[in-house]
Amino acid sequence: PHAGPVESKNEAAMSELVPEPRQKPVVPMKPMGINASLLGYIGIDTIIEQMRKKTMKTGFDFNIMVVGQSGLGKSTLVNTLFKSQVSRKSSGWNREEKIPKTVEIKAIGHVIEEGGVKMKLTVIDTPGFGDQINNENCWEPIEKYINEQYEKFLKEEVNIARKKRIPDTRVHCCLYFISPTGHSLRPLDLEFMKHLSKVVNIIPVIAKADTMTLEEKTEFKQRVRKELEVNGIEFYPQKEFDEDLEDKTENDKIRQESMPFAVVGSDKEYQVNGKRVLGRKTPWGIIEVENLNHCEFALLRDFVIRTHLQDLKEVTHNIHYETYRAKRLNGSGGLPPMTVETEEKHESNL
């Protein structure tokens, strides 16, 4: 019977409390007499060194895919990028022989070591893209391959007893080779990049750029950029993933000036002014692959390896893989579907 008045008393007390201004939290005073110089050296700066040692021990994975028509020099360019015969098992063919035409999606792994740093590099070579008479949906096997690698990683990740370090076969970077026509992009190129830019980091590259004059090259680069923009194709580095102003400024410069990289690949060495250089010999001179006046190969290598390799991996993990994972787990109620074998095992455990 007394519950009513007690409640109203409480309510009255509450309403009285509401208008009162909230007191500011008291800021503790700085302890007198202690300054930074007194604290001396703690050793926080060694964290970077600790991380460096750890990563050096584990090494790095990097998976790069090359896509484009046959004969654009995809295999040669990857060999040039990493200065070794990485796009075909060297046992498979001799340097003098003609490189065999790629007929299936093939992943070839190599371990490259430089300055004590080990990198497990995987090159995924794709069949001449768009070589067939009917090229309808010919990007599907490539998209399927990329998604299969995400699926493999996801399966390992949702295991109860999962590996400390999941083998990473996800495609971190896809070099898309554009034919140096000097005209516009083929509808097939646009269609491919539209589909695949959603699942992988695409870097557009104009192959065999030595077939164009400097004016043609500049004009073609601008035209390709415009077409990609008009068609809403986001290539790497994607605008929306720039994390701070410094990244944005650097990446804007790459997007507006360098992309798509006009490159020339070669795994043959020539003597130029007493120096050995990678190049292509023509009747009117040698095109030096690593000379910026001749082509943008050095820019592409710096971009992929020296400045953005770690970022390519992070965008793959945090954006593309996360998107796949979320879609996949939502679609199957939180877990990948069980196979008959795992179902039986699961029932016997119950």
Read off the pLDDT of each residue in 312-339 and give the average, rounded to a whole number: 81
Q: Which of 46-55, 95-104, 240-249 has the highest mean pLDDT?
A: 46-55
Using the predicted structure, report yes or no on whether residue 323 has a pLDDT greater than 90.
Answer: yes
As given in the structure block, the two tokens for residue 92 are 């498979």
Of 229, 214, 207, 237, nearest in space to 75 by CA: 207
pLDDT digits (tens, 9 = 90+) for 36-90: 556 678 888 899 989 888 888 888 889 999 888 878 888 888 878 877 666 554 4
Q: pTM for the full model?
A: 0.76
As given in the structure block, the two tokens for residue 282 are 């023509």
pLDDT digits (tens, 9 = 90+) for 214-239: 888 889 999 999 999 999 888 888 88
As given in the structure block, the two tokens for residue 20 are 């009162």
At 252, is the pLDDT very low, low, confident or very high (cuts 50, 70, 90)?
Answer: confident
**In 10 A of CB 121, how many CB atoms?**
20
The H-or-E segment that residue 322 falls in is helix 322-331
Which residues on adjacent β-strands are paired with residue 63? 122
Q: Which residue has the higher pLDDT, 136 or 8?
A: 136
Using the predicted structure, report yes or no on whether residue 207 has a pLDDT greater than 70.
Answer: yes
Cα(266)–Cα(350) distance, rounded to whole angstroms? Answer: 61
pLDDT at 5: 53
Using the predicted structure, report yes or no on whether residue 197 has a pLDDT greater than 60.
Answer: yes
As given in the structure block, the two tokens for residue 256 are 């507006």
Which residues on adjacent β-strands are paired with residue 286? 281
Instruction: Say which CATH superfamily domain 61-89+97-264+307-331 falls into.
Output: P-loop containing nucleotide triphosphate hydrolases (3.40.50.300)
Cα(31)–Cα(9) distance, rounded to whole angstroms? Answer: 45
Using the predicted structure, report yes or no on whether residue 2 has a pLDDT greater than 70.
Answer: no
Q: Amino acid letter at 42?
A: I
What is the residue extent of each domain of the chain? Answer: 61-89+97-264+307-331
pLDDT at 148: 94
Distances from the Cα of 20 to the Cα of 12, 15, 246, angstroms: 14, 10, 46
